Amino acid sequence: FMVTRKETTPFEGQKPGTSGLRKKVTVFKQPNYLHNFVQSTFNALAADQVKGATIVVSGDGRYFSKDAIQIIIKIAAANGVRRIWVGQNGLLSTPAVSAVIRERVGADATGAFILTASHNPGGPHEDFGIKYNMENGGPAPEAVTEKIFANTKIIKEYLIAEDIPDVNLSVIGVSSFDGPEGPFDVEVFDSTSDYVKLMKTIFDFVSIQKLLSCPKFTFCYDALHGVAGIYAKRIFVEELGANENSLINCTPKEDFGGGHPDPNLTYAKELVARMGLGKSSPQGEPPEFGAAADGDADRNMILGKRFFVTPSDSVAIIAANAVQAIPYFNSGLKGVARSMPTSAALDVVAKKLHLKFFEVPTGWKFFGNLMDAGLCSICGEESFGTGSDHIREKDGIWAVLAWLSILAFRNKDKLDGEKLVTVEDIVLQHWATHGRHYYTRYDYENVDAGAAKELMAHLVNQQSSLPDVNKIIKEIGPDVPNVIQADEFEYKDPVDGSISKHQGIRYLFEDGSRLVFRLSGTGSEGATIRVYIEQYEEDSMKTRRDSQAALAPLVDVALKLSKMQEFTGRSAPTVIT
Ligand code: VG1
Ligand code: CO
Question: How much of the chain, in percent, has pLDDT values that exceed 70?
Answer: 99
Strand partners, 345: none
CA 304–ligand 1 middle distance (angstroms):
24
Query: Residues 70-87: what's their mean pLDDT?
Result: 96
Closest protein CA for atom 8 of ligand 1: 383
CA 532/CA 315 separation, integer angstroms: 17
pLDDT band at 318 (very low <50, low <70, confident <90, very high): very high
> Would the pLDDT of 447 be above 70?
yes
State the pairing for strand pair 357-360/336-339.
parallel
CA 256–ligand 2 middle distance (angstroms):
13
> Would the pLDDT of 146 be above 80?
yes
| Average pLDDT score, the chain | 93
Higher pLDDT, 526 or 36: 36
Query: Residues 285-300: what's their mean pLDDT?
Result: 96
Would you say the C-alpha torsion 113, 119, 123, 124 has a positive or negative sign?
negative
Residues whose CB is less than 8 angstroms from the CB of residue 529 and which lie 6 or more positions away in sequence, other chains included: 443, 444, 447, 452, 455, 456, 517, 518, 519, 520, 564, 568
Instruction: Using the atom order of ligand 1, give the atom closest to the CA of residue 530.
Output: 16
**pLDDT value of position 105:** 59
Closest protein CA for atom 1 of ligand 1: 522
pLDDT band at 535 (very low <50, low <70, confident <90, very high): very high
CA 484–ligand 1 middle distance (angstroms):
28
437 lines ligand 1 (CB under 6 A): no
Query: Residues 168-195: what's their mean pLDDT?
Result: 95
520 lines ligand 1 (CB under 6 A): yes
Query: Residues 531-549: what's their mean pLDDT?
Result: 87
Q: Are 74 and 164 in contact (CB under 8 A)?
A: yes
Q: Which of 58, 93, 118, 343 is catalytic?
A: 118
500 lines ligand 1 (CB under 6 A): no
14 lines ligand 1 (CB under 6 A): no
Please state which architecture CATH assigns to domain 436-576: 2-Layer Sandwich (3.30)
Residues whose CB is less than 8 angstroms from the CB of residue 318 and which lie 6 or more positions away in sequence, other chains included: 378, 380, 386, 399, 402, 403, 406
> Would the pLDDT of 18 be above 60?
yes
3-state secondary structure 120-154: CCCCCCCEEEEEEECCCCCECCHHHHHHHHHHHHH
CA 115/CA 515 separation, integer angstroms: 33
Least confident of 222-226, 248-252, 402-406, 468-472: 468-472
> Would the pLDDT of 280 be above 60?
yes
> Would the pLDDT of 111 be above 60?
yes
* Ligand 1 pocket: which of 132, 298, 342, 522 to mutate (most atoms within 8 A of CB): 522
DSSP 162-195: TTSPPP-TTS-EEEEEEETTEEEEEEEE-SSHHH
> Would the pLDDT of 445 be above 70?
yes
**pLDDT value of position 48:** 87
385 lines ligand 1 (CB under 6 A): yes
Instruction: Using the atom order of ligand 1, give the atom closest to the CA of residue 118.
Output: 19
**pLDDT value of position 475:** 86
Residue 331 among the catalytic residues: no
> Would the pLDDT of 281 be above 60?
yes
Closest protein CA for atom 2 of ligand 1: 383
For the chain, which residues make up each domain, given as ranges?
A: 4-191, 194-434, 436-576
Q: What is the pLDDT of residues 367-381, one digit of tens each?
A: 999 999 999 999 999
pLDDT band at 42 (very low <50, low <70, confident <90, very high): very high
- Ligand number nearest CA of 22 is 1
Q: What is the ipTM of this complex?
A: 0.96
Please state which architecture CATH assigns to domain 194-434: 3-Layer(aba) Sandwich (3.40)
Residue 92: how many CB atoms within 10 A of its CB? 35
**pLDDT value of position 284:** 84
Is CATH 2.30.30.40 correct for 4-191? no
CA 152/CA 13 separation, integer angstroms: 9
CA 277/CA 238 separation, integer angstroms: 28
> Would the pLDDT of 566 be above 80?
yes
CA 183/CA 161 separation, integer angstroms: 13
Q: Are 476 and 563 in contact (CB under 8 A)?
A: no
**pLDDT value of position 10:** 96
Output helix, strand, coil percentages for the chain, rounded to the nearest 5.
Answer: 35, 25, 40
CA 38–ligand 1 middle distance (angstroms):
22
Q: What is the pLDDT of residues 467-501, one digit of tens each?
A: 888 888 888 888 888 999 989 999 999 998 888 88
Query: Residues 245-249: what's their mean pLDDT?
Result: 95
126 lines ligand 1 (CB under 6 A): no
CA 118–ligand 1 middle distance (angstroms):
9
381 lines ligand 1 (CB under 6 A): yes
pLDDT band at 172 (very low <50, low <70, confident <90, very high): very high
> Would the pLDDT of 511 be above 90?
no
CA 18–ligand 1 middle distance (angstroms):
6
41 lines ligand 1 (CB under 6 A): no
Higher pLDDT, 261 or 475: 261
pLDDT band at 92 (very low <50, low <70, confident <90, very high): very high
Task: Output the CA–CA distances (angstroms, integers) from residue 257 to 86, 214, 298, 454, in the order listed.
Answer: 24, 33, 19, 37
**pLDDT value of position 207:** 96
The pair phi, psi for residue 46, each rounded to 5°, is -65, 150
DSSP 533-554: EEEEE--GGGS-S-HHHHHHHH
CATH topology of 194-434 equal to that of 436-576?
no
